[in-house]
Amino acid sequence: MPEPTGKVVPLNVRRLPWTGPDGEPEYAAPGEVDDYADREEAHTISMARNDARYALSMVDSPDVSHDDLRKLVRTLVDDVVCVARVADLRGERLSDPSYGPAVRALEGALRQALRDT
């Protein structure tokens, strides 16, 4: 997986949902920090959902100022960027050859279960 910076990344590593101090992507072998990275991704999605619910409640409130709405839009834009990053990370993992057999086995099992019901 080459990075836009030209940096070559070893195979079978996971890009983490945070960057290093220099702003470059960080990677880890499977198992090293998977649980923590999974929790971080889930937290990102959960916060975006909470912000969206809050935004919906504010939109209909007559007491909300234009400045408050601008701040809210900035927050929602940040949320979209973060959730898109999580989607990209998950897509990278699904296309990784080391995950391929497990993904195909799970897909086959799910298809079979749906046919059996």
- This prediction has a pTM of 0.68
Q: Which pLDDT belongs to residue 22?
A: 92
Dihedral, 104, 88, 7, 19 alpha carbons, nearest 10: -120
Please say whether the beta carbons of 89 and 38 come within 8 A. no
Q: 2-6: which pairs have CB atoms within 8 A and are 24 or more residues apart?
A: none
Answer whether residue 4 shows pLDDT above 70: no
Please say whether the beta carbons of 40 and 15 come within 8 A. no
What pLDDT band is residue 105 in, cutting at 50, 70 and 90? confident
Structure tokens at 29: 């072998």
Report pLDDT digits (tens) over 54-79.
Answer: 999 998 888 999 899 999 999 999 99
Structure tokens at 1: 């997986």
